[in-house]
Amino acid sequence: CGVSSLSTRSETRIVGGKNAAFGRWPWQVSVRRTSFFGFSSTHRCGGAVLNKNWVTTAGHCVDDLLTSQIRIRVGEYDFSHVHEQFSYVERGASKKIVHPKYNFFTYEYDLALVRLESPLDFDLHISPICLPATDDLLIGENATVTGWGRLSEGGTLPTVLQEVTVPIVSNDRCKTMFLRAGRHEFIPEIFLCAGHDTGGQDSCQGDSGGPLQVKARDGHYFLAGIISWGVGCAEANLPGVCTRISKFVPWILENSI
């Protein structure tokens, strides 16, 4: 888990980010909603591959959908191209499990698991991410967020997967940053915050549910967070807030066997 077999080189949004290299984040998925007639699907959120049968995303991404409305696209890179180096795979969902404590109003426990209708075949561009091995708070670590969310608040949607690196901050500092911006936010330990005081780089609408990944000392990436909520996009003192996955490893393992 947590290893990219393809290029680890970035090409030269998420906001303030850049195009990811093809296959660099092989666990990234597009959580999609089927059209009314079921002939097509549209991108709704991000997510991450946990194993051949399960992906994880944010609770708010699937809570209001019937299982039959959920489609999961794996190995995708550029929405505008059908033919790429390796083609994407799309699966229906056979089960969804939203965390029983998920709170629609506070976004606490904003986590869900989706079981695919048939197992994935791992490939160079499709593989799982590792789960956190410790309960380390990761303060000061650089994390990468990825997704097809808007390039600015209310702005355009990219077709190519975007990536941006942001520092993880302590929950106390996160609260202080929000206060500086005039907002009093409740940031319990089940949340993880990442962002710069000055803003400029952040996740945005459409990135929710996607992975916030950290590279461990052994070189493998693990799922530190699932993108949950924010105020605006990339504004000063308004960091992005994720569901802190180290708090949920037992629940994930218990439900995704």
Q: Which residues are catalytic?
A: 60, 110, 208
Q: Residue 194: which of 171, 217, 219 has the closest Cα?
A: 171
User: Do residues 56 and 31 lie in contact, with contact meaning Cβ atoms separated by under 8 Å?
Assistant: no
Q: Count CB atoms within 10 A of the CB of residue 121.
A: 9
With b for 16 or more beta-carbon neighbours within 10 A and e for fewer, the 155-178 pattern comes to eeebebbbbbebbbbebeebbebb
140's tokens: 């000061």
Q: How far apart are the first and last CA of the chain?
A: 16
